[in-house]
Copies of this chain bind each other. A is one copy, B any other.
Amino acid sequence: MARARGAKPSGSVTSHDVARLARVSQATVSRVLRDDPNVRPQTRERVLKVLAETRYEPNAAARAFRAGRADSIGVVVARLSYQLYPAMLEAIGAQLARLGRRMIVWDSDHGGDAPAIRALRQGVVDGVILTAATAESEFLREVSAEGSAVVLLNRTVADYASDQVSSDNLDGGRRVADYLVACGRERIALIGGIPRASTIRDRERGFRKSLERLGRELPPHYYFRSETFSHASGEQAVTRLMELASPPDAIFCVNDVLAMGAMDGARARGARVPDDLWIVGYDDIEIASWGAYDLTTVRQPMELMVAQAIDLLLARIDRRDAPVHHKCLPNELVIRGSTARQTPPASQPARKPRP
């Protein structure tokens, strides 16, 4: 039994200890720590000396308890295996660090949003950023209605009273369709995903609607819904599409991993990209720019999205009755070698062609 009850972190020097050693009251130590001007320089000096000597560190639990806030923010992530999410987490972490907040991370694979929301209610965190498109929990609905400090990032739910930040996935899908049609692609296919995720749903809808508007409705056999967002799914999907009597000459994949799987699958069947088949992805993860894939894709303004999500969250932590915002940022089509190499800019005008 190495620990007494109520054991404290290593040093376990308290502000009372410091006060005693510096022959002042605990209140004065607290004042010095908080840089209160009402301390005589001489006294401050003495206290600072003892603080340094004892290597005092304030007890975080006591401080949080007293202050009523934790200075920590919760982040719920999913599928860290997909590069977009580590990148997002990295951005969130960097920005929170700059703001002096800690970041507690939950993986939505283990209980979805619930553990994070629970932590919020217990005061473990001051607010929560939800990035994972988990099922719409009634738990979340309720918390959201309470005006709790919860922000949905890269995920929208129309009737939640929570702040939400996403990029314009509808427009992203539209851009891809416009681009492919403008470049004269004739047989355009779509590899989509589970419609539970709002982002995916919007990408698909934007893509379809734009095709329709251009008189090029997507035929059912050119649509493949993959159950998971994996490389293997992309391979499988492209294999099906290429087995068709009239295989597509362009495929839009709703995210980059699917696109890379599709590319590898197509190549394995002897197709050349982009000579025989164009492939477009979504997200612009780092690998997309590497030589092996050199993937045309849609890039979201990640840093900006994260910044806005954190802004909204901190604002709401400050005042829970702050107005609810649903932000939707524009994104950008990044054209690379998986499309376009030898096709000249098409004559058919698109709404926003980026030849």
Q: What distance in Å separates the Cβ of A69 from its nearest Cβ neighbour in chain B?
A: 7
Contacts of A80 in B (CB 8 A): 86-87, 89-90
A321→B2 CA distance, assembly (Å):
8
Q: How large is the interface on A (under 10, 10 to 19, 20 to 34, 35 or more residues)?
A: 35 or more
Name which residue of chain B comes closest to A289, CB basis. Answer: B231
Contact assessment for A103 and B105 in the assembled complex, using a CB-CB cutoff below 8 Å? yes
Contacts of A68 in B (CB 8 A): 3, 5-9, 61
Name which residue of chain B comes closest to A116, CB basis. Answer: B102
Name which residue of chain B comes closest to A266, CB basis. Answer: B291
Q: What distance in Å separates the Cβ of A299 from its nearest Cβ neighbour in chain B?
A: 15
Contact assessment for A267 and B287 in the assembled complex, using a CB-CB cutoff below 8 Å? no
Contact assessment for B97 and A110 in the assembled complex, using a CB-CB cutoff below 8 Å? yes
- Which of A30-38, A120-128, A154-162, A343-351 contacts the other chain? A120-128
Contact assessment for A110 and B81 in the assembled complex, using a CB-CB cutoff below 8 Å? no
Q: Point out residues on A near B: beta carbons under 8 Å.
A: 2-3, 5-11, 55, 57-62, 64-70, 72, 80-81, 83, 85-87, 89-90, 93-94, 97-98, 102-107, 109-111, 115, 118-124, 146, 148, 231, 235, 260-261, 263-265, 267-268, 286-287, 290-293, 318-321
Beyond A59-B65, A61-B123, A103-B105, 20 extra complex contacts between A and B, CB < 8 Å: A2-B318, A3-B68, A5-B68, A6-B66, A8-B68, A9-B120, A9-B123, A57-B121, A57-B122, A60-B119, A61-B64, A62-B65, A72-B104, A72-B124, A80-B86, A81-B83, A81-B90, A93-B106, A264-B292, A292-B293
